A and B are shown apart, each in its own frame.
Chain A
Amino acid sequence: MNPVMPTMPGHLLEVDDLRVEFRTRDGVAHVLNGVSYHLDPGETLAVLGESGSGKSVTAQAIMGILDTPPGYVTGGQIRYRGRDLLRLPESERRQVRGKEIGMIFQDALSALNPVFTVGYQIAETLRTREGMSKSDALGRAVELMDLVKIPGARQRVKDYPHQFSGGMRQRVMIAMSLAQRPKVLIADEPTTALDVTVQAQIMDLLGDLRRELDMAMILITHDLGVVADVADRIAVMYAGRIVEHADVRALYKSPGHPYTKGLLASIPRLDMKGTELATIKGLPPNLTRIPSGCPFHPRCPYARDVCRSVFPPDIPLGADRFSECHFAKEVVDGRLS
């Protein structure tokens, strides 16, 4: 458990020391190794990481849609309004899924069923979960499509997913997730597959919806630009753990973990040109064989002996801020070479 963030009663959603394994024929992959973060009403938490960091798996575990097998939750709790979702029977879990916590995915085309109209799909949860009549549910579907600013919603409610463009399909998926007015929305790479102009539209829409519906959001992404725009707090994930957690401004201004530092340095900036890009050498670790000590040490330009042998503790760097690095304070101050 993280010493800096004690269990405060009243966190809307809290992931506590979550551990997940994937049992594959090449061995056991330790995908999540003690992930903890929390979300309060109305805020946006960005979970930042690259492939293999475990960011999507955490979201799937929260929603209860983890592929089992090969994935198994082996420890930790996921508390929503104080109740541990992992200990709930499936029937109660289903109450939470969709109604309290909604999710949108990266690829709207595969998340939508091509043989049903979008109106039917949006209305589906309303019919089955809230017992609305078909016409009532369809009316509500039109309302939702208006809410997500799909033009001509009344006519388009009868269209099929393939008749929409990528951005519009994403809006349909957002409408579906909002049908039951969840308090938390998990957005797993919602704009990665979209063009940049459409991305801006969708992120704007999500911001507006959050305010209108007083929703909290977990934004899972690898895009540092999008995060800078919308997030309140950021949790940086690497090899199945949160290696840094900070307020968004503090993180970008002075990152406290070498991985975050490396990520920020390696993105080509629209406003900086002409220099060779700084890189993080090497590759993300094989999760069946996570390196000893600090998992980042093979790629860390500041690695010392202690990093290779001792797992780094969570070093507090201020209010609600920590970094999992032996030399976090030096990194933040920029005193490390």
Chain B
Amino acid sequence: MSELETIVLSEGSSSAGVPGGDGGGKPRSLAGDAWRDLRRNPVFWVAGLLVLIFLVMAVAPRVYTSISPTACDLSDSQLPPSAQHWFGTDIQGCDVYAHTVYGARASILVGVLSTLLAGVLALAVGMAAGFYGGWVDAILARILDIVLGIPLLLAAIVFSRSFGTRNIGIWPVVGVLGILGWTTAARVVRASVITAKQQDYVQAARMLGASNGRIMIRHILPNAIAPVTVVLTIALGVFISTEATLSFLGAGLKPPTISWGIDISGAQGRFYQAPWPLLFPAGFLALTVLAFSMLGEAVREAFDPRLR
């Protein structure tokens, strides 16, 4: 077996000659390589930092301010930004900065939860449609088309209005967004499942006798999940801004919940007299959406198997 030995010995020191290939070194998964690329991308760090800031804001608002958003003194109504009130006060005398900070929770929470719901639905539907094909695919594709045809905002408004003006908390909003918003991601999942299904390594697993379940979870899911992750991070931004729109229109969250949309809604009437109660929540909203979108972009670039 001397020839095999020499092959083993020499393969330890050299590797594929194609530029970009590297056989030596520690095991490097695709995720590991992607992480390495992400680390080098300044967009990732900026976006990541912003996202982190907002997440902390949502989870622990007290880190950012000791002022309570409900400590409103009517005599302080519509004060411009100052040392005591960094962002000024709104019509009711509430500190705008505190409102903005506490508002992050509702907005981001709704965004994250509805994205999760949409993601689960997208994965389930997309995988079933892509993997089983045939009439399953046909039926699911038609359902997808129908849901896609429903304008998200309009349906959300109609749905929310049916609850009246009571404050029903965040779950109905989450539900509406998730149930109406899974379609784009589902299409992406379906496409990547169909591609993955045709890969040789899936055929190889089938030939070994792998069950459908095993193939779906072990082979297809990991390879289909990357593109949909990116779509979802972008969707997160969309959901947050949609929630704000709903609240603005009075169809989403209601007081006493604090959210950016509600604040913007309340401040828009008196914009010319006192712009700051609107500008700051709007600015934070835009920044959050931007941060999540940028993060999604950076992740997409890193997972893009250009040279792999």
Direct A–B contact in the complex, CB atoms closer than 8 angstroms:
yes
* CB-contacts of B169-212 with A (<8 A): none
Which residues of the partner chain B approach A22 to less than 8 Å between Cβ atoms?
19
Interchain CB contact under 8 A, B19 and A70: yes
By the criterion CB–CB under 8 Å, are A281 and B16 in contact?
Answer: no
Q: Are A25 and B37 in contact (CB under 8 A)?
A: yes
**Which residues of chain B have C-beta atoms less than 8 A from A187's C-beta?**
none
B149 at the A/B interface (Cβ < 8 Å)? no
Tell me, in angstroms, the Cα distance from A265 to B50 when the chains sit together.
62
Bound-state Cα–Cα, A291 to B15, Å: 12
B256 CB-CB contact with A under 8 Å: no
Q: Are B20 and A298 in contact (CB under 8 A)?
A: no
B17 within 8 A of A: yes
Find residues 5-33 in chain B having any chain A CB closer than 8 Å to their own CB: 6-7, 10-11, 13-24
Shortest Cβ distance from residue B242 to the other chain A in the assembled complex, whole angstroms:
38
A25-B37, A286-B22 are known contacts. Are A298 and B14 too (CB-CB below 8 A)? yes
- Are A26's CB and B22's CB within 8 A? yes
User: In the complex, what's the smallest C-beta–C-beta distance from A229 to chain B, in angstroms?
Assistant: 27
Flag if B14 contacts A51 (CB, 8 Å).
no
A282 near B10 (CB under 8 angstroms)?
yes
Of all chain A residues, the one with the shortest Cβ separation from B21 is A286
- List chain A residues, Cβ under 8 A from B13: 298
- Does residue A279 face the partner (Cβ distance < 8 Å to B)? yes
- A299: which B residues are within 8 A, CB to CB? 10
- Report whether over half of chain A's contact residues are helix, strand or loop; otherwise say mixed: loop
Residues from chain B with Cβ under 8 Å of A52 in the complex:
16-18
Indicate if B217 sits at the interface (CB-CB under 8 A): no
A284 engages B6 (CB within 8 Å): no
Tally of contact residues, B, Cβ under 8 A:
19
Contact A31 B19 (CB under 8 A): yes
Chain A 276-292 residues near chain B, CB threshold 8 A = 279, 281-288, 291
Interface residues on A, range: 20 to 34
Q: Which residue of B lies closest to A51 (CB)?
A: B18
Report B-chain residues with C-beta under 8 Å of the C-beta of A53: 17
In the complex, whether A24 has a CB less than 8 A from a CB of chain B is yes
Once bound together, how far apart are the Cα atoms of A26 and B6, in whole Å?
27
With contacts A24-B307, A281-B6, A282-B7 taken as known, whether A287 is within 8 angstroms of B19 at the C-beta atoms is yes
Given A25, A70, A281, A283, which contacts B15 in the complex, CB threshold below 8 Å? Answer: A283
Q: Is the CB of B10 within 8 A of A279?
A: no
Q: How far is the CA of A228 from the CA of B301 in the complex (A)?
A: 46
CA distance A30 to B14 in the complex (A): 15
Measured CB to CB, the closest approach of chain A to B166, in angstroms, equals 56
Q: A26-B19, A239-B17, A291-B14 are in contact. List 15 more A-B contacts (CB 8 A).
A: A22-B19, A24-B19, A52-B18, A281-B3, A282-B10, A282-B14, A283-B11, A283-B14, A285-B14, A286-B15, A286-B16, A286-B21, A286-B24, A287-B18, A298-B10
- What is the interface of chain B, defined by CB distance below 8 A to chain A? 3, 6-7, 10-11, 13-24, 37, 307
| A interface residues (Cβ-Cβ under 8 A, vs B) | 22, 24-26, 29, 31, 51-53, 70, 239, 279, 281-288, 291, 298-299
Q: Which 7 A-B pairs have the closest CB atoms?
A: A52-B17, A284-B17, A282-B10, A29-B19, A22-B19, A281-B6, A24-B20
